[in-house]
Amino acid sequence: MWSSRVFRRSISSSSSAAATAASAKKKWDAIIIGGGHNGLTSAAYLARAGLSVAVLEKRRLVGGAAVTEEIVPGFRFSRCSYLQSLLRPSIIRELELSRHGLKLLKRNPSSFTPCLDGRYLLLSHDAAFNHSEISKFSEKDADAYVSYEKQLQKFCDFMDPLLDSPTPESSHGAPSFIDQAKDNLHKSVFWARCLQQAFVLGQKDMVDFVDLLVSPASKVLNNWFETDILKATLATDAVIGTTGSVHTPGSGYVLLHHVMGETEGERGVWSYVEGGMGSVSLAISKAACEAGACIITDAEVSQVLVNDDSGAVTGVMLADGTQMHSSVILSNATPYRTFLELVPQNVLPEDFLCAIRNSDYSSGTTKLNLAVDALPQFQCCKPMVSGSGPQHVGTIHIGAESMEEIDVACRDALSGIPSKRPLIEMTIPSVLDKTISPPGKHVINLFVQYTPYNLSEGSWSDPKFRESFSQRCFSLIDEYAPGFSSSIVGYEMLTPPDLEKEFGLTGGNIFHGAMGLGALFLMRPVKGWSDYRTPLKGLYLCGSGAHPGGGVMGAPGRNSAHAVLEDIKKSRTT
């Protein structure tokens, strides 16, 4: 078991102050702002290519939003992200993350939705089991669910290559004739590959795919199913981490985004990570350090340094005034923080800044991390004398017995108030992971919606207001699992402003920016700059605000590193 203190020592052989002082004396091939999982991924790939790389993390430990910390004595929490599935298989394989300690714990069953009328729905990875469970509510839906999963599998297969490659963005500046020809060829190959995949998919499925992308999740699910509890269970994937409703156009894509992952080759399977989500970041940091990267904690970047004559980056300044030098900077911070807070004024084009400023960073998400001395006993299940049951293994959906319940919760937030009956996703990783809690006790994650960043009444800085909302969440769970509140021995609440302050997530948005259709692919982070490069020469974006987006995916980090290496190779041949 790793403590936060051990985790920090493992990535820095000397004190942060000493490491920073030594690092300031040399010029690095690349400096990475932020030690989240994407920044660490970029560092690993760049260091493996032979570059000298420094990662600067403002907190005392790396991981960003994929971090494990002991908040209540004896209990170790995945404070923000809490499940693994989206981490790209190419990264796990290429960086040999299993060798570096990454251990995934598959969940089966994967989902449990209790009902107040005494019924419940369990879903797993077994088709026969799912058919039996759904048949309790509808034979028709049980049959349709098989086809639904097959169609989503096709769509995920279509999307896969787009995640592991940069977008076919137009060249910036005035490239040479040869470079322009190469660029046109690259884009032609990219679109030809897409057309080939579309041909394989077929016209009917392609039309259905477009329909999924642009439609509200409610429309998609209503067309497939008739059972409220099944539709609501699936609909949570379409709204999780967003401020949108199941009736919001484009929410169908968010549904797909959350099922396109895999665990050890099994599509759509979400897992816990032994030791918490910080173990993902730790494994990547070990791969980066093994390749020669230098990771420095307690090193907050306050400004990107720019040469006034050339208009290119020259390094960064830390909060303590220390300067570190490099002609290549990768930012794992949000686009807003990168371009509007770290880059000096009057350096970037106004139209670019306007687009960044007007991007959607809204959030409706609050994370509650609980330490409990007993597992919740759901009244719709047989009482557990000891140990855990299948209802405790996967994601537990509370307050989501129909899509209309989800929509009502969303409408509360649109009025500027936290949902009266919040949508809660509960997970209990300690059921499978015995390293994160004392024997007989458990760690519980509550991912709660909807909680507006800006409130029309009350304040998130008011302890009484915060306590009132947390008790609202606990009381809702009590309706399904009587006595749950009395099992809580300690907890932490992270509201949108807390997520912004503690983890640098602008607006509290866990994806570094909304994942609507207007902010994906060639439009992410803004139109014209989707290939990780920026209008400031030498500055790259490597975080979730870049293509293909949020979640513990690592793809932006990997893809941006390849963009840097491509530019370095090009500069050396000209």
Model confidence pLDDT, tens digit, residues 390-405: 999 999 999 889 999 9
115 located within any domain: no
Say if residues 505 and 334 touch (Cβ distance below 8 Å): yes
Q: What pLDDT is recorded for position 7?
A: 33
**pLDDT tens sequence across 226-253:** 999 999 999 998 998 899 999 999 888 8
| b/e burial code for range 305-334 (CB count within 10 A of at least 16 → b) | bbeeeeeebbbbebeeebebbbbbbbbbbb
Q: Which domain holds residue 562?
A: 4-103+274-359+513-572
Residue pLDDT, tens place only, 158-197? 888 888 889 999 888 767 777 788 788 888 888 888 888 8
| pLDDT level of residue 37 (50, 70, 90 thresholds) | very high
Does residue 319 have a pLDDT over 90? yes
Residue 127 lies in a domain: no
Cut 0.75: pTM above it: yes
**Sheet of strand 120-123: strand arrangement:** 120-123, 111-114, 395-398, 423-427, 442-449, 365-372, 488-494
Q: Which parts of 372-495 fold into alpha helices (H)?
A: 403-414, 463-480
Q: Which residues contact 262 (CB under 8 A, 6 or more apart)?
A: 85, 89, 268, 269
Number of domains in the chain: 1
Answer whether residue 327 is part of any domain. Answer: yes
Whether 55 is covered by a domain: the verdict is yes
| Domain presence at residue 156 | no
Confirm whether 538 is domain-assigned.
Answer: yes
Place of tokens 């030791």: 275
157 in any annotated domain = no
DSSP state of 312: B
CATH number of the domain within which 285 lies: 3.50.50.60
Secondary-structure breakdown of the chain: helix, strand, coil percentages, each rounded to the nearest 5: 40, 15, 40
Residue 159 is assigned to a structural domain of this protein: no
For residue 260, the model assigns a pLDDT of: 78
In angstroms, rounded to a whole number, what is the distance separating the alpha carbons of residues 296 and 61? 9
Q: Which of 132, 101, 84, 143 is nearest to 390 (CA)?
A: 132
> How far is the C-alpha of 295 from the C-alpha of 278, rounded, in Å?
15
513 within 8 A of 361, measured Cβ to Cβ: yes
